[in-house]
Amino acid sequence: MKDFDIGRIRADFPLLRREVNGKPLVYLDNGATTQKPQQVIDAIIHYYQDMNSNVHRGVHYLSQISTDAFEVTRRKVQAFIHAEHEHEIIITKGATDGINLLAQCYGKAFVHAGDEIIISAMEHHSNIVPWQMLCEDKGAVLKVIPMNSDGELDMEQYQALLSPKTKMVAVTYVSNALGTINPIAEIIALAHQNGTPVLVDAAQAVQHLKVDVQALDVDFLVFSGHKMYGPTGVGVLYGKEKWLNAIPPYQGGGDMIKDVTFEKTTYNELPFKFEAGTPNIEAGICLAAAIDYLEEIGLDRIKAYEDDLLAYATEKLLAIEGLKMIGTAEHKSSVLSFVIKGIHPYDVGVILDKLGIAVRTGHHCAQPVMDQYRIPGTIRASLAMYNTREDIDALVAGIERAVKMLL
Ligand code: PMP
């Protein structure tokens, strides 16, 4: 594809040059985590070699430069998702951490017995269990938007679920198990007509398509650094200022306070109210390098390249006899989930691994999705911007070999 220098991009990722089981690595497990470009690796080394120090505390030079660098990330995230204010960006450990934070804090203030939380049939466990826990605590009820056999949400049913009892709608932007891109703007608009805030799980979205929180008018949004070419152990919870001011903090500790006496503590202002204790400083700082990397290439170009590769892979995989694609929504991003008649997904995964091809097999932390299709799991190939048609050809050849061996 012109305008997309895949050779240069691949050269930025040192791990892609290694062999696995004596074969060149074909890495197709990007939905689980992405590889890191040299720019991010260099930023991590630079942090420890030149600036390691705790943030938001010291008056000394190193503490000031690490604090500044940490706050640079916050501003980069703000621009990356087009938030109105930088204090609307809460640095978390990851998407899971952000959802748990929100469920607990929002729940404490706004959810009571008999209230309802709406999620969808295709959520990752991390956008199911925290809401389930909250519902159990509060005597609230979890409602689920159903989906059809293509893996598309039933929007009529969704509208029917919305009621004065609905206190939160929490939905994924892109499904990690099916690849479906949900009509998130419509979901948000309908919830708002009902007076209900929306959390969007963008863990599988921000690395594949441009996300603009103001254009979407979304109330809360989470994602993880490690799935967007950045470090592990860092993520983001975006929240509209009015909501973040309205909900109490999650954890108590250093950084989140203004004043502490044994009688009473007053909380710090946003965003620090939600950032108790020493964060993952290195990951927080180096997330900026991942954002720079994505923005330098450009999400529009990444999306066009990945969409083309997804179409190519879909066609090639469907040509394999007995292969059934799980997740055939009209709007999809970067995920190919499939089963092969008469073969357990795990067995295919093991043979592919012997060939140096990394895919994921199992329920992909979305067990209810597998239950709906009445399957134990799928084989999932998930794409990143550095994957190529050659990777797909290797996958197809590997599956054909596995089928010959197993059938
Ligand atoms: N939501 C989705 C859609 C995901 O794919 C994942 C990770 N597989 C998560 C949430 C959780 O992300 P993390 O493990 O980085 O917290």
Domain residue ranges in the chain:
6-29+298-406, 51-295
Are the beta carbons of 179 and 329 closer than 8 angstroms? yes
Q: Considering the chain, what percentage of its residues have pLDDT values greater than 70?
A: 100
Pocket probe for ligand 1: among 92, 122, 124, the residue whose CB has the most ligand atoms within 8 Å is 124
List the Cα angle 379/383/384 in 5-degree steps.
Answer: 150
Tell me which residue of 271, 204, 234, 208 sits closest to 40, measured CA to CA: 234
Contact 120, 144 (CB under 8 A): yes
| CATH number listed for the domain at residues 6-29+298-406 | 3.90.1150.10
> What are the backbone angles phi and psi of residue 356, rounded to the nearest 5°?
85, 15
Cα distance between residue 340 and residue 324, in whole Å? 6
pLDDT of residue 2 exceeding 80 = no
What are the pLDDT digits (tens) for 294-330? 999 999 999 999 999 999 999 999 999 999 999 999 9
- Cis before 279? omega within 30: no
CA distances from 158 to 114, 117, 134 (A): 19, 12, 21
| Residue whose CA is at the smallest distance from ligand 1 atom 5 | 176
| Location of structure tokens 């709406």 | 118
- Partners of residue 343 on adjacent β-strands: 340
- Per this entry, what is the length of the chain? 407
The answer on pLDDT for 82 being more than 90 is yes
Instruction: Determine how many CB atoms are found less than 10 A away from the CB of residue 224.
Output: 29
- Running DSSP on this structure, what letter comes out for residue 139? T
- pLDDT number for residue 401: 97
Burial classification of residue 290, based on how many CB atoms lie within 10 Å of its CB (0-12 exposed, 13-18 middle, 19 or more buried): buried
Angle at alpha carbon of residue 89, lines to 186 and 38, rounded to 5°: 100
Q: Where are the alpha helices (DSSP H) in 4-140?
A: 6-11, 38-46, 61-81, 95-110, 129-138
Q: What's phi and psi for 33, nearest 5 deg?
A: -165, 150
Q: Interhelix angle for 281-297 vs 61-81, to 10°?
A: 40
The pTM of the full predicted model, rounded to 2 decimals, is 0.98
Annotated catalytic sites, by residue?
Answer: 365
Q: What is the DSSP letter of 31?
A: T
Matching CATH topology for 6-29+298-406 and 51-295?
A: no
The encoded tokens of residue 130 equal 């925290």
Q: In this predicted model, what pLDDT tens digit does every residue of 338-387 receive, in sequence order? A: 999 999 999 999 999 999 999 999 999 999 999 999 999 999 999 999 99
Atom of ligand 1 nearest to the CA of 174: 3
Number of Cα atoms under 13 Å in the Cβ half of residue 29? 18
Q: Classify domain 51-295 at the CATH class level.
A: alpha beta
Residue labelled with tokens 């008469």 = 342
Residues 199 and 221 sit within 8 Å (Cβ to Cβ): yes
Give pLDDT tens digits for 240-272: 999 999 999 989 888 888 889 899 989 889 999
* C-beta of residue 146 within 8 angstroms of C-beta of residue 157: yes
pLDDT in tens, 131-173: 999 999 999 999 999 999 999 999 999 999 999 999 999 999 9
Distance 39 CA to ligand 1 centre (A): 24
Please say if the pLDDT value at position 1 is more than 80. no
Check whether 4 has a pLDDT greater than 80. yes
116: closest CA among 191, 51, 52?
A: 191
The answer on pLDDT for 46 being more than 80 is yes
Which residues form ligand 1's pocket by a CB distance below 6 Å?
A: 31, 94-96, 124, 126-127, 172, 176, 201, 203-204, 224, 365
Atom of ligand 1 nearest to the CA of 94: 16
Residue closest via CA to ligand 1's atom 14 equals: 96
* pLDDT per residue as tens digits for the range 193-210: 999 999 999 999 999 999
- Radius of gyration (C-alpha) of the chain in whole angstroms: 22
CA of residue 323 relative to chain centroid, distance: 27
Answer whether 143's CB lies under 8 Å from 117's CB.
yes
d(CA 204, CA 126): 13
